[in-house]
Amino acid sequence: MKILIGGDLVLTESYEVSNISDNLRDLFRESDLNIINLEAPVTESDLALKKTGPHLKANIDSTAKALKYLEIDLVTLANNHILDYDEQGVEDTLSFCSTNSLQTVGAGMNLEEASTVKYLDSEVGTLAIVNFAENEWSIATKQRAGANPMDLIDNASQIKKAKHHADFVIVIVHGGNEHNLYPSPRMVKQYRFYADCGANIVVGHHTHCISGFETYGKVPVFYSLGNFLFTIRRNNPESWYTGLVLSLNLKENKEIDFEIIPVRQSQENDALIRLSGKESIDILNTISEINKAILDPTILEAKWMDFIKKNTPSYVKTISPLGGIKNKYIKAFLYRSNLYKFFMHDQFIKEFINRIRCEAHYDIAREVFKSYLKE
């Protein structure tokens, strides 16, 4: 059985399917099951969720045509944007998928629905698809719509239960550090744990760039497929426009063969093509170098610390007490003059670390800050 899994798809504006190359469409037409991450709610609602970061909304007509053109069978919905237009956006997206004969996994009108494992019958046995996302603004609760959250205990239980009922368990995770080619050491440890729990394959996306992979035991683990087709314009880095399509061949003896297929989106007109020749080889060589780091804890730690160093200024500004100042001119002056460092004294930093590091403190801090947003 052949399965294709792609990364993030967001069409925020009108898009012509003729911009998708024939050789890429043929790839999907020859597959038995096609899966893509539908990153934005498909809705006409203008009631945006109160959150940080951009609000994404898919163009209804273009999204329907593109998914049909590529013969997508199932969309993963556990991602950080599914709740951007509140519960109405989730409800509309689920309705859109039903109307267009698309199966869904990873989101629902409450936590019970969102965490439901998707089971599919096939000629090689029963497939189970487990889909969850890191905890941002999109997460479902017992009473509220949203995405299935990353929770190590709950996710482990979902995987183990799926393993009991299915011949193949495919775990699809939306998480990681944006624009980082290398998974963090924590991600590597955690995704390997999913394999230990019974996953036959682990697939990641969210980072807006491709990453590497490994075979842990007999389990292929892919840390990020990158973007598939993402039309938003935000001064995107070049890595934004390269993605991977994962081709899986599931066999009756429970063996899995795989191939990674590079694709690229044009920066000028969003045309999407399957890469070949030297361009494809260059991408595969890049991935090969990333793979070496994944398998060497010392190298991976060094890459992680490089990424930390690069991103330290933006994170410090966010957690600084000055982050509460709304006036952007005053805030800019205080940062440019480095006065914000005056407030970042040892005691403040120690308190901050303990509030997010200690599970008991984190539980309280999360609810306290949530209560301020409700006021």
Distance CA 346, CA 365 (A): 20
Phi and psi angles of residue 279, each rounded to the nearest 5 degrees, phi first = -60, -45
Q: Are 252 and 124 in contact (CB under 8 A)?
A: yes
3-state helix, strand, coil in the chain (%, to 5): 40, 25, 35
Residues ≥6 apart with Cβ < 8 Å to 315: none
2-295: which CATH topology?
A: Purple Acid Phosphatase; chain A, domain 2 (3.60.21)
pTM above 0.85, yes or no: yes
338-359 tens-digit pLDDT? 777 777 788 888 888 898 889 8
Q: Which stretches of the chain are assigned E, i.e. beta strand?
A: 2-10, 33-38, 74-76, 103-105, 107-108, 118-122, 125-133, 146-147, 168-174, 201-205, 213-216, 219-222, 227-230, 242-250, 256-265, 272-274
pLDDT of residue 375 exceeding 60: no
CA pair distance 83, 80, nearest whole angstrom: 7
As a whole number, mean pLDDT of residues 64-85 equals 98
For all residues of the chain together, what is the average pLDDT?
A: 94
Task: Say if CB 301 and CB 266 are below 8 A apart.
Answer: no
Q: What is the tens place of the pLDDT at every residue in 253-307?
A: 889 999 999 999 999 999 999 999 999 999 999 999 999 999 999 999 999 999 9
The distance from CA 239 to its chain's CA centroid, rounded to whole angstroms, is 15
Query: Taking residues 193-212, what's their average pLDDT?
Result: 98
What average pLDDT does this structure show over 221-230? 98
- The pLDDT tens digits of the residues spanning 95-140 come to 999 999 999 999 999 999 999 999 999 999 999 999 999 999 999 9
Each residue's pLDDT tens digit, 308-323: 999 988 887 777 777 7
Q: Where are the domains of the chain?
A: 2-295, 300-374
| CB proximity list for 304: less than 8 A, separation 6 or greater | 182, 184, 185
